Amino acid sequence: MSDDHDHHDGDEHELRVSKIRSGTVIDHVRGGQALNVLAILGIDGSEGEEVSVGMNVPSDRLARKDIVKVEGRELSQDEVDVLSLIAPDATINIVRDYEVIEKHRVEPPEIVEGVLSCPNAGCITTSGEPVDSRFEVLEDGVRCDYCGTIVRDEIAALIDT
């Protein structure tokens, strides 16, 4: 496989997926995570958002990647923070008038508050007390600040919607 071929191939994919007028393109999502990305953003089709999803498309950086394009919406920092937990390699492209005006990699935060539910039924955050959940972000998962429960694989299932 020559380098030239790879780069050319990558450019074509970029062009093919970037044709939204304005909104956000979430690129380099690990294969199979696109639906979790939609869950984080609270997109279930009910609001009539125009969303395109490419799943398991070839990627230079990951073997296969998912791409999510959301027309007419720019992500909040909270959304980007949670996104980084399930898509740590993702690139966020902000598009206005068909031009990518901002492109940044997600940066996992050190702490996420109020966005994940602790799976431990005995945790104070699940007891009905008015306590916001708070998780420390680890290298390979998250840890509840209150009870110490560590979650590695099912982070998407904890998203508080």
147 is annotated as contributing to ligand binding: yes
Q: What average pLDDT score do residues 124-147 get?
A: 92
Tell me the C-alpha distance between 56 and 14, whole Å: 14
- Segment 142-159 shows an average pLDDT of 90
Q: Is 136 assigned to a binding site?
A: no
Q: Is residue 7 predicted with pLDDT exceeding 70?
A: no
12 pLDDT more than 60: no
pLDDT, the chain, mean: 84
Please say whether the beta carbons of 31 and 65 come within 8 A.
Answer: yes
Which of the two residues, 13 and 98, has the higher pLDDT score? Answer: 98
Q: What is the pTM of this model?
A: 0.76
61 annotated to a ligand binding site = no
* Every domain of the chain and the residues it spans: 3-105, 111-158
40 is in an annotated binding site: no
Mean pLDDT to the nearest integer, 39-61: 84
Which residues on adjacent β-strands are paired with residue 66?
A: 29
The pLDDT tens digits of the residues spanning 85-128 come to: 889 889 999 999 999 999 999 998 999 998 889 999 999 999 88
pLDDT at 45 > cutoff 90: no
Q: What is the pLDDT of residue 41?
A: 86
The CATH code of the domain at 111-158 is 2.30.30.20
Asked whether residue 15 carries a pLDDT value surpassing 50, the answer given is no
Contacts of residue 103, Cβ cutoff 8 Å, sequence gap at least 6: 91, 92, 93, 94
Does domain 3-105 fall under CATH 3.30.870.10? My reply is no
Coil, strand or helix: which one is 17? Answer: helix
The SS3 call for residue 158 is: helix
